[in-house]
């Protein structure tokens, strides 16, 4: 586990989880501690607990926020099973309906997951939720796109956005059926916020330029998928386009981006998701 102090309020804890750099974020507010996402194992959370003891913060109230229901963001919840856990209401529903089944599948492949006990969020919301601690404001915003239960954690006074998997480097994954256009519209709303620092769920700390890169990528995917559907071309017609077409055509991709095999796999899945969404969209959309 790598610890990255960002400022007096924010520290990141990062580890490789099945090939992806995965982040749990710790916020130290005047009267409480907040952890955003708990990775895939409760034992991953031990460095955070040790850090809180070193800082003399172990007696402060602790809140956990799950950005969405995926296993690599929630399976560490049991390390904080006595603490309030907050998520969107759809997150709790997803974990209730299929969480144990997914966990059993992973246990069958890797005995390390035997330490995981599924702990569901006990506090949920639908659209937004406001947390206050002294003069510090924390906004929890429903942000469907990557999944239908995704949320953002936004500290407007700090210009800080903890994005979960809604923003990723080099680009996010489209998993929500029917959600590509909504994702694009949601990303556009971020341009109106005074964001200085972006913490993605996977990848390095970034600035607001990550919003523009992700927005451009999804816009390109959606535009080309819709065009293929209108021309009655098969999904495979998108596969032959080099990924650089989706990254570079507006100048946002001037910086060389090294793509891993897993990134290219994600891109192909994104094309499929966008194509199916475009095909199934109502007439005239």
Residue extents of the structural domains in the chain: 2-207
Sheet holding 128-133, edge to edge: 128-133, 136-142, 151-155, 160-164, 197-200
- The total of other beta-carbon atoms located within 10 Å of residue 187's CB is 22
**Torsion angles phi and psi, residue 168, rounded to 5:** -145, 160
For tokens 């510090």, the residue is 136
Confidence band, pLDDT 50/70/90 cuts, at residue 244: confident
Inter-CA distances, 189 with 108, 194, 210, 211, Å: 42, 11, 14, 10
Query: Is the bond leading into 204 cis (omega within 30 degrees of zero)?
Result: no
List, for residues 51-101, the tens digit of each pLDDT value: 999 999 999 999 999 999 999 999 999 999 899 999 999 999 999 999 999
- Give the model confidence (pLDDT) of 18-32 as tens digits: 989 999 999 999 999
Average pLDDT over residues 44-56: 98
Reported pTM = 0.94
d(C-alpha 142, C-alpha 144), whole Å = 6
For residue 251, what pLDDT is reported?
46
Q: Which helix (H) or strand (E) holds 88?
A: strand 85-88
What's the CA gap between 15 and 24, in Å, rounded? 9
Statement: 2-207 belongs to CATH 3.60.15.10: yes
Confidence of residue 250 (pLDDT cuts 50, 70, 90): very low
Reported as a single tens digit per residue, the pLDDT across 172-182 is 999 999 899 99
DSSP state, residue 206: B
| Beta pairing, strands 123-125 & 160-164 | unpaired
End-to-end alpha carbon distance in the chain:
46
What is the DSSP pairing of strand 33-36 with strand 62-65? Answer: parallel
The tokens for 68 are 């969405």
Cβ neighbour number for residue 45 with a 10 Å cutoff? 21
């Amino acid at each position: 586990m790598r610890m990255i102090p960002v400022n007096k309020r924010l520290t990141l804890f990062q580890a490789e989880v099945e090939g992806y750099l995965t982040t749990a974020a710790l916020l130290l507010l005047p009267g409480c501690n907040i952890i955003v996402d708990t990775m895939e194992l409760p034992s991953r959370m031990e460095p955070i607990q040790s850090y809180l003891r070193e800082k003399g913060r172990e007696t402060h109230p602790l809140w956990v926020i799950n950005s969405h229901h995926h296993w690599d963001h929630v399976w560490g919840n049991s390390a904080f099973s006595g603490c309030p856990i907050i998520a969107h209401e759809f997150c709790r529903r997803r974990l209730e309906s299929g969480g144990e089944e997914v966990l059993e599948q992973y246990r069958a492949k890797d005995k390390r997951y035997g330490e995981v006990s599924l702990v569901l969020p006990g506090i949920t919301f639908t659209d937004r939720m406001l947390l206050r601690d002294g003069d510090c404001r924390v906004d929890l915003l429903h942000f469907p796109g990557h999944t239908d239960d995704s949320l953002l954690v936004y500290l407007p006074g700090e210009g800080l956005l903890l994005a979960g998997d809604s923003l990723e480097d080099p680009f996010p994954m489209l998993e929500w059926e029917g959600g590509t256009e909504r994702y694009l519209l949601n990303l556009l709303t971020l341009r109106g916020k005074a964001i200085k620092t972006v913490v993605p769920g996977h990848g390095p700390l970034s600035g607001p330029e990550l919003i523009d890169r992700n927005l451009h990528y999804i816009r390109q995917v959606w535009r080309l998928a819709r065009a293929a559907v209108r021309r009655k071309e098969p999904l495979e017609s998108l596969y032959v386009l080099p990924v650089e077409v989706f990254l570079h055509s507006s100048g946002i991709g001037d910086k060389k981006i090294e793509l891993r095999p897993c990134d290219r796999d994600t891109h192909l899945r994104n094309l499929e998701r966008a194509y199916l969404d475009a095909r199934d969209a109502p007439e005239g959309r």
